[in-house]
Structure 1
Amino acid sequence: MTRSYILHMFTPGRQMSPFDVNMAIDAGYDMAIPYCDVDTKNIGAMTQDAIFSRGPKSVAHTGIFIGGRDVVQAAEMLALARKAMVPPFEVSVCADPSGSYTTAAALVATVERQLRKAHQTDFAGRRVLVVGGSGAVGRIAGALASQLGAQVWLSNRSGSEAAARLSEETNRCFNALTEGVVIRNSTELQSVLADTDIVLATASAGVQVVGEAERSSARKLLVAADVNAVPPAGIEGVGVMDDGKRIGSSDAVGIGALAIGNVKYQVQHRLFKRMREAGKPVYLGFEEAMAMAREVVAELG
């Protein structure tokens, strides 16, 4: 008898993202079953409940996805799920809270591509400002850029203590070296942008965080990337379809939300397929998402 491919989808929240359910089904899972209120306290028990019912041969047709909104909690849940495995009862697990791991990976990989194409350089030694650096995508994007050798500012509007605390937690949990910076008005933003090579806009949808006046102050700017697809643009002058288009008369190039989103979609789709088709269990977090994003953008040339 051929066993169905089942993906158990765990979230600490009240509902699983419909986007993630659709992605799982489109990647070949026969059933994608959401479970709410699953967190670090009960993920071990839920994992073992999922693995022991199918037998050592059929357990390979089972997978676990971890969602939610907290990037640190998701990383902890991924580690706890892995710890709960009892070989040969072991399944693949993928974490992608709020799509932040795959979106951040797509963002950083597309910027890396344009740094090379437009400026013959990379992240090493570059100053990166993440606007919206307290959010899920911003924190992971900052961590990934840091791992590639960039000096990363994670912006925060809540004050210096909050900025420092968030940066320290990001560094500790994601093997990064970032710095919190407080930006509460246009003057502070222009001051920071004056020393910025790369700006990543990861703030809330439909909010413009960098206007033309602020962007014009970034005279060293090489790449501006914006994940906001809801008007107005997060960075004025960067269109949603832009993928290396020059911004005004400057040497900087822009990357828009749909260009990033196309890569994000491929990354998540391929990670789900990798789980389903793997000969042995795999554990997929933000670093694996980054590796996959680099594969996707390499195909773009």
Structure 2
Amino acid sequence: MARPYILHMFTPGRQASPFDVNMAIDAGYEHVIPYAEVTRDNIAALTQDAIFSRGPKGVASTGLFIGGRDVVLAADMLDAARKAMVPPFAVSVFADPSGSYTTAAALVAAVERQLRKAHRTDFSGRRVLVLGGGGAVGRVAGALASQLGAQVWLSNRTDETQAVRISRETNARFNAQTEGLLIRSADALRAALADADIVFATASAGVQVVGEADRAAAGKLLVAADVNAVPPAGIAGVDAMDDGKGIGAGRAVGVGALAIGNIKYQVQHRLFLAMREAAGPVYLGFPEAMAMARTVAAELP
């Protein structure tokens, strides 16, 4: 009898994400079991419980998923789970805390696509301002843009010390080169926008971070991308459905939340499938999410 597909979902928080549960089941996992309050300290033991109980053949029908909200912790947990494997007892592992790895990858791939279509350029040498740069999606998107050659600012509205700390942690863990930037006033925002070629709006849902007057200060702007699907738009003039639509009278184009979300959905779905269909164990984090997002984006008209 064929072994059923089992996915063990580990989260440091109090509950797993229903979004991730739905995505896993739609990708063909027959049994999805969530585990709360899993951290670096106990993920190795739980991983070995999962691999040894099914035998060398059963591990092919077993997967691990790492969620939560902390992008650095999730990366550490992915590494710890991988090190806990004892071949031939080894299973695939996919980390995507708060959907941030797949969302950030989709954001960067969608913007890269528009840079090429609308401006015949890419991220290399471009200045990227990440509004909401202390959040999960903002940090990973900033790291990915940096790895593609951009100069990246991770903005923060709280204090400069926190902005610098988040940037340094992001750089150290994700092999990036970003800078922390404190933006507390409209003047500071407009000064930052004036230097930006690209803007990522990754702040909380339902919060507008760039108004019409602010956007007018962004004279060099090529692409503005907003992951916020909850009104009002995070960037004035960028609608959720936009995918390369012009903004205002300048040359900038917008990428909206649903255009990004379409790529994100495909990326997460395909990575779940990749785990389930792989001939051997695979380990999927934000680099693999970025590679998949570029593949999905390249398929779009």
User: Given the two structures, how large is their TM-score scaled by the length of structure 1?
Assistant: 0.99
Number of matched pairs: 301
Quote how far apart the aligned CAs of 1:149 are. 0.1
Amino acid at match of 2:141: A
* Residue segments in structure 1 that go unaligned for 5+ positions in a row: none
Q: Supply the distance in 1 between the matched residues of 2:157 and 2:59 (Cα, whole angstroms).
A: 47
| Alignment correspondent of 1:186 | 186
**Aligned runs of 1:124-135 on 2, under 5 Å?**
124-135=124-135
SS of equivalent residue, structure 1 residue 8: strand
| Alignment correspondent of 2:247 | 247
| Alignment correspondent of 1:268 | 268
| Alignment correspondent of 1:257 | 257
| Alignment correspondent of 1:204 | 204
SS of equivalent residue, structure 1 residue 41: helix
| Alignment correspondent of 2:72 | 72
Quote how far apart the aligned CAs of 1:52 are. 0.4
Which one is further off, 155-164 or 76-85?
155-164
Amino acid at match of 2:216: S
Q: In the alignment, is residue 237 of structure 1 matched against residue 265 of structure 2?
A: no
| Alignment correspondent of 1:47 | 47
Q: In the alignment, is residue 92 of structure 1 matched against residue 92 of structure 2?
A: yes
Summarize deviations over 1:94-124 as a string: whole Å, max 9, x none.
0000000000000000000000000000000
Q: Supply the distance in 2 between the matched residues of 1:20 and 1:218 (Cα, whole angstroms).
A: 37
| Alignment correspondent of 1:148 | 148
Quote how far apart the aligned CAs of 1:249 are. 1.3
Summarize deviations over 1:20-49 as a string: whole Å, max 9, x none.
000000001011110001110100000000
| Alignment correspondent of 1:291 | 291
Quote how far apart the aligned CAs of 1:167 are. 0.3
Summarize deviations over 1:165-196 as a string: whole Å, max 9, x none.
11000000000000000001111000011100
What's the Cα RMSD here? 0.5
Amino acid at match of 1:74: A
Quote how far apart the aligned CAs of 1:160 are. 1.6
Q: Supply the distance in 2 between the matched residues of 1:248 and 1:178 (Cα, whole angstroms).
A: 29
Amino acid at match of 1:284: L
**Aligned runs of 1:163-178 on 2, under 5 Å?**
163-178=163-178
Quote how far apart the aligned CAs of 1:281 are. 0.4
| Alignment correspondent of 1:15 | 15
Q: Supply the distance in 2 between the matched residues of 1:212 and 1:229 (Cα, whole angstroms).
A: 18
Structure 1 runs (4+) greater than 3 angstroms displaced: none
Q: Supply the distance in 2 between the matched residues of 1:184 and 1:201 (Cα, whole angstroms).
A: 16
SS of equivalent residue, structure 2 residue 40: coil
Quote how far apart the aligned CAs of 1:152 are. 0.1
Summarize deviations over 1:63-101 as a string: whole Å, max 9, x none.
000000000000000000000000000000000000000
SS of equivalent residue, structure 1 residue 153: strand
User: Given the two structures, how large is their TM-score scaled by the length of structure 2?
Assistant: 0.99
Q: Supply the distance in 2 between the matched residues of 1:79 and 1:240 (Cα, whole angstroms).
A: 35
| Alignment correspondent of 1:138 | 138
| Alignment correspondent of 1:116 | 116
Q: Supply the distance in 2 between the matched residues of 1:2 and 1:252 (Cα, whole angstroms).
A: 54
Quote how far apart the aligned CAs of 1:274 are. 0.1
SS of equivalent residue, structure 2 residue 124: coil
| Alignment correspondent of 1:36 | 36
* Residue segments in structure 2 that go unaligned for 5+ positions in a row: none
Q: Percent identity?
A: 76
Q: Supply the distance in 2 between the matched residues of 1:54 and 1:264 (Cα, whole angstroms).
A: 32
Summarize deviations over 1:246-282 as a string: whole Å, max 9, x none.
0021100000000000000000000000000000100
Amino acid at match of 1:66: I
Summarize deviations over 1:223-253 as a string: whole Å, max 9, x none.
0000000000000000000000000211000
| Alignment correspondent of 1:63 | 63
Q: Supply the distance in 2 between the matched residues of 1:224 and 1:175 (Cα, whole angstroms).
A: 25
Q: Supply the distance in 2 between the matched residues of 1:2 and 1:94 (Cα, whole angstroms).
A: 23
